[in-house]
């Protein structure tokens, strides 16, 4: 009798909620008219896990081609030791990656192992094995690590930084994300939605319909500012007895196509996982949509109910996604010739016979850093033979706010942050400021720790829009070099701009932050 009463109560509750959804929109808004706006990528990334040789080849290829044919980005998670010999699959993946800048590969372990069962050294070695193999096959190293079984621990994160990854993608239940905004970004971008799930006894993959997945995507964007959708080839395979066949499931492929169409129609931007944090805009959601989502989460209304509500709100621009291209108050300096330098670099023709044993503001730079930052002897982004005391991510720009007599220059008023505070005579206005450096799809952050190269008074370039006076307009450290992947030589071209410290995302550049000031 109690069970019947409970079921009747749930049905009544559902009827009440459906009646709420059926109300005219102006009535709903009058009930709760608050709107929530926040910075957001407002975007979706799809992650295809478990890509490997000689296993559901046609299915894997069909899923990839569904994205390519419908102008949608994709991140392909490859199991390193299980990939490289199946020419049909390998050549197809290579052709997709080579011809589509919005497709990327990700490291999905060496043998699809639970990384938490290994030591830090072992985890790092396993990551490196797959990275090296991907570099051999594709000519590039993955930026994204997808831990098998979603399992990570503290050693995983240390190994992650040692292997120069930029993003790690577990599962939202295992690795809670923060809300992605222009002021608050993170290397952690776990999956927050899915196109299929294992059944209760983990024996069968059950595909979701497109409405269920879209509801989860929009919920994730509202909560976290982005969505990562996790997929597996098995969801799209026809099951034959106890085994998955190499025949794709037309129904589930059709559901995937409907999902992609909906996302395009709703103006939700597709990105690969490495680009989630690049295009931050604003999203606007009515506050009451959280209540509707909670009713779906407790199974008292259906995905179709929420889906229909979201479609109405988006089509009538009640829910809005806006993507301004440049939110920075500082100008971007494009295509700047950039050279590599390092603390302790000896004087030679490359640096105009100027030694880097001291900086413009520190006469004991080597000692304060902890040693010579040898560009040929590295342990990840760090020097291999000591732990630095200051940030290994540093740059030099051709301006010094202090003249040769230790007096602040009058043109220091040109610095964008001059009015930030009252500056003491013992501190530089520019030392330790943060700079964002971009080369292709790689972006690093570093602190300004020296003046140069070659010029020390180029205020119209550094704090204006003029081209640099010298042949090179920026010097970068070995750590920055390695992060933006400069291979061979000491020169490249990058874009750079200043960034406030509060806007600097998490990354290896934040492991040690330089705070020291002028030291004579």
What is the residue range of 103's domain? 43-278
Out of 263, 278, 293, pick the residue that ends a domain: 278
Query: 257 and 120 share a domain?
Result: yes
Decide: 504 and 383 in contact? Cβ < 8 Å: no
Query: 247 and 344 share a domain?
Result: no
CATH of the domain at 173: 3.20.20.370
**Domain contains 67:** yes
- Domains contained in the chain, number: 2
Query: 361 and 492 share a domain?
Result: yes
Query: What are the DSSP calls for 152-206, one per residue?
Result: --HHHHHHHHHTT-SEE--BTTTSPPPPPBTTB--SB--B-EESEEE-TTSS-EE
pLDDT digits (tens, 9 = 90+) for 476-496: 999 999 999 887 666 788 999
Question: CA–CA separation, 516 vs 520, rounded Å?
Answer: 12
The more confident residue out of 87 and 290 is: 87
Query: What are the DSSP calls for 60-77, one per residue?
Result: HHHHHHHHHHTT--EEEE
CATH of the domain at 427: 2.40.40.10
Q: Which of 463, 464, 428, 418 is nearest to 449 (CA)?
A: 428
Question: CA–CA separation, 45 vs 225, rounded Å?
Answer: 12
**Domain contains 328:** no
Query: 394 and 481 share a domain?
Result: yes
**Domain contains 220:** yes
**Domain contains 392:** yes
**Domain contains 108:** yes
Please give the structure tokens belonging to residue 269. 């931007």
The whole-model pTM stands at 0.60
Query: 207 and 68 share a domain?
Result: yes
- What is the model's pLDDT at position 416? 85
**Domain contains 26:** no
Query: 115 and 204 share a domain?
Result: yes
Q: What percent of the chain has pLDDT over 90?
A: 53
Query: 146 and 261 share a domain?
Result: yes
Per-residue pLDDT, averaged over 71-79, amounts to: 93
pLDDT digits (tens, 9 = 90+) for 305-323: 888 888 887 777 777 665 4
pLDDT digits (tens, 9 = 90+) for 371-410: 999 999 999 999 999 999 999 999 999 999 999 889 999 8
Rounded to 10°, the helix 120-138/87-99 angle is: 80
Query: 58 and 203 share a domain?
Result: yes
In this structure, what DSSP letter does residue 402 have?
Answer: B
Query: 393 and 464 share a domain?
Result: yes
**Domain contains 400:** yes
Residue 201 CB coordination number (10 Å): 6
Out of 215, 250, 278, pick the residue that ends a domain: 278
Query: 238 and 120 share a domain?
Result: yes
Query: 254 and 362 share a domain?
Result: no
Kindly list the distances between the CA atom of residue 420 and the CA atoms of 157, 416, 429, 430, 458, in Å, as whole numbers in the listed order: 36, 9, 10, 12, 22
Query: What are the DSSP calls for 40-52, one per residue?
Result: E--EEEEEEEEE-
Please count the residues of the chain: 520
pLDDT digits (tens, 9 = 90+) for 249-265: 999 999 999 999 888 88
Q: Pairing between strand 196-198 and 193-194?
A: unpaired
**Domain contains 323:** no
Query: 504 and 396 share a domain?
Result: yes
Decide: 377 and 385 in contact? Cβ < 8 Å: yes
Contacts of 207 (CB under 8 A, 6+ apart): 195, 196, 235, 236, 249, 251, 252, 255
């Amino acid at each position: 009798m109690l069970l019947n009463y409970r079921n009747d109560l749930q049905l009544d509750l559902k009827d009440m909620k459906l009646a709420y959804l059926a109300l005219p929109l102006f009535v709903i808004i009058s009930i709760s008219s608050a709107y929530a706006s926040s910075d957001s990528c407002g975007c979706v990334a799809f992650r295809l896990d478990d890509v490997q040789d000689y296993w559901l080849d046609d299915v894997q290829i069909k899923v990839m081609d569904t994205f390519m044919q419908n102008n949608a980005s994709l991140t392909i998670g490859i199991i390193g030791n299980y990939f490289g010999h199946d020419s049909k699959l390998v050549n197809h993946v290579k052709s997709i990656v080579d011809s589509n800048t919005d497709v990327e590969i990700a490291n999905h372990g060496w043998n699809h192992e639970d990384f938490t069962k290994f030591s830090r050294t072992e985890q790092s070695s396993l990551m490196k094995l797959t990275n090296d193999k991907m570099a051999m096959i594709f000519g590039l190293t993955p930026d994204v690590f997808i831990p098998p079984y979603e399992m990570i621990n503290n050693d995983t994160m240390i190994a992650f930084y040692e292997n120069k990854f930029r993003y790690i993608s577990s599962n939202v239940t295992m690795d809670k994300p923060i809300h992605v905004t222009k002021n608050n970004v993170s290397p952690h971008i776990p999956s927050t939605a899915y196109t299929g799930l294992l059944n209760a006894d983990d024996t069968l993959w059950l595909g979701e319909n497109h409405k269920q997945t879209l509801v989860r995507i929009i919920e994730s964007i509202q909560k976290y500012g982005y969505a990562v959708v996790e997929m597996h080839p098995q969801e799209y395979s026809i099951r034959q007895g106890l085994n998955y066949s190499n025949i794709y499931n037309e129904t589930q492929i059709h559901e995937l196509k409907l999902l992609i169409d909906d996302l395009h129609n709703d103006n939700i931007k597709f990105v690969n996982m490495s680009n989630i944090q690049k295009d931050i805009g604003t999203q606007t959601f009515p506050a009451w949509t959280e209540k509707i989502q909670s009713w779906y989460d407790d199974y008292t209304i259906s995905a179709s109910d929420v889906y229909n509500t979201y479609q109405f709100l988006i089509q009538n621009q009640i829910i809005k996604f806006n993507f301004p291209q440049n939110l920075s108050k500082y100008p971007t300096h494009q295509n700047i010739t950039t050279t590599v330098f390092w603390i302790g670099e000896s004087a030679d023709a490359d640096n105009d016979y100027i030694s880097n044993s001291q900086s413009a503001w520190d006469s004991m730079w080597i000692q304060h850093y902890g040693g010579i930052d040898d560009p040929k002897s590295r342990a990840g982004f760090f020097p291999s033979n000591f732990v630095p005391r200051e940030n290994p991510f540093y740059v030099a720009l051709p301006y010094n706010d202090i003249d040769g007599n230790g007096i602040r220059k009058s043109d220091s008023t040109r610095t964008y942050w001059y009015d930030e505070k009252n500056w003491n005579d013992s501190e530089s206005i520019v030392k330790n400021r943060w700079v964002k450096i971009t080369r292709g799809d790689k972006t690093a952050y570093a602190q300004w720790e020296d003046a140069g190269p070659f010029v020390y008074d180029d205020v119209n370039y550094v704090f204006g829009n003029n081209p640099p006076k010298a042949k090179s307009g920026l010097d970068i450290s070995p750590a920055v070099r390695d992060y933006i992947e400069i291979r061979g030589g000491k020169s490249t071209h990058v874009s750079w701009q200043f960034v406030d410290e509060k806007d600097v995302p998490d990354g290896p550049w934040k492991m040690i932050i330089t705070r020291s000031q002028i030291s004579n």
